[in-house]
Amino acid sequence: MTGSELDKYERDGFLVLENFVTPEACDVLRARAERLVRDFDPAGVISIFSTSEQTRTSDDYFLESGDKIRFFFEEHAFDAHGTLKRNKDQSINKIGHALHDLDQVFNSFSRTPQIRQLVLDLGLTEPLLLQSMYIFKQPHIGGEVTCHQDATFLYNEPLKMVGLWFAMEDATVDNGCLWAIPGEHKRGLKSRFLRADGGGTRFEILDDSPWPDDNLRSLEVKQGTLIILHPLLPHLSRENRSEKSRHAYTLHLVDASAHYPDSNWLQRSTPARGF
Ligand code: FE2
């Protein structure tokens, strides 16, 4: 990365790199994600992803997904009787959270010399690939992700983490692109999402002031763009009510030198690996 790119990342808390991934590589990853969904048998394992209701993200299927490939449904995929309104492949919100370790196509996409160099440039000295998600943001029902800092959900001490958000399709205001508050990564962490004693999860509020969202900026990007996210950057994405999906692949890396608390929701049976 160039000095001016790094300066911009430090100033804004995010950086947009266009054409980081080729259209062909995006198509390969997209086809693989669609294949995983086709092969997924949802019988008995309905789990819904929602950032607005804490209880729904506390089930065991979610809590045990840190070292697995698991499938989470859109909140609006079901009718009042709990039956899927459309096909499975148009109902999945995301796949997580160890695609990069367990699937060869995702592994190859995630462990490249280019990504390794990028995160070294960003200051991780011993980068470990902790979490991956393939997010579908389905047409018409793609769920909202409320304003948050990634360090709320993945925390380490000292905070040494990078989020990578790869656009697998064009992301626009209409289909639910990312929005961010530039520069607000300098304010400190507002909450932590923790495993609760006795099971489930809870939020620990560190600062209950509202998000200063006057300066909220949409990040409309083309397929193949990489958005680098600082772990303290407030960001969100709105519902997708459009005809078009908004696929994205995300990867979170941490540094081996930082302490990873066992109160984080994401736990693995084997340690996170590097490149
Ligand atoms: Fe996020």
100, 106 contact by CB (below 8 A):
yes
What tokens were used for 32? 């693989």
The more confidently predicted of residues 117 and 57 is 117
User: CB within 8 A of 70, min separation 6: which ones?
Assistant: 45, 47, 61, 62, 64, 95, 96, 97
Q: How far is the CA of 143 from the centre of ligand 1 (A)?
A: 13
The tens digit of pLDDT for each residue in 164-204 reads 999 999 999 999 999 999 999 999 999 999 998 888 889 99
Q: How far is the CA of 210 from the centre of ligand 1 (A)?
A: 17
pTM (2 d.p.): 0.94
Q: How far is the CA of 235 from the centre of ligand 1 (A)?
A: 6
Give yes or no for residue 24 having a pLDDT over 60: yes
Determine the Cα–Cα distance for residues 180 and 165; give it in Å rounded to an integer: 13
57, 150 contact by CB (below 8 A):
no
Q: How far is the CA of 231 from the centre of ligand 1 (A)?
A: 8
Q: How far is the CA of 81 from the centre of ligand 1 (A)?
A: 31
Q: How far is the CA of 146 from the centre of ligand 1 (A)?
A: 9
Q: How many CB atoms lie within 10 A of CB 270?
A: 8
Alpha-carbon Rg of the chain, whole angstroms?
18
Query: What percentage of the chain reaches a pLDDT higher than 70?
Result: 95
Determine the Cα–Cα distance for residues 124 and 118; give it in Å rounded to an integer: 9
162, 253 contact by CB (below 8 A):
yes
Give yes or no for residue 43 having a pLDDT over 80: no
| Helix ranges, 16-142 (H) | 23-39, 60-63, 99-102, 104-110, 113-121
266, 154 contact by CB (below 8 A):
yes
Nearest to 154 by CA among 234, 52, 263: 263
Was domain 3-255 assigned CATH 1.10.20.140?
Answer: no
Q: How far is the CA of 145 from the centre of ligand 1 (A)?
A: 8
pLDDT band, residue 60 (cuts 50/70/90): confident
175, 142 contact by CB (below 8 A):
yes
Q: How far is the CA of 236 from the centre of ligand 1 (A)?
A: 7
Quote the mean pLDDT of the chain: 93
Q: How far is the CA of 147 from the centre of ligand 1 (A)?
A: 8
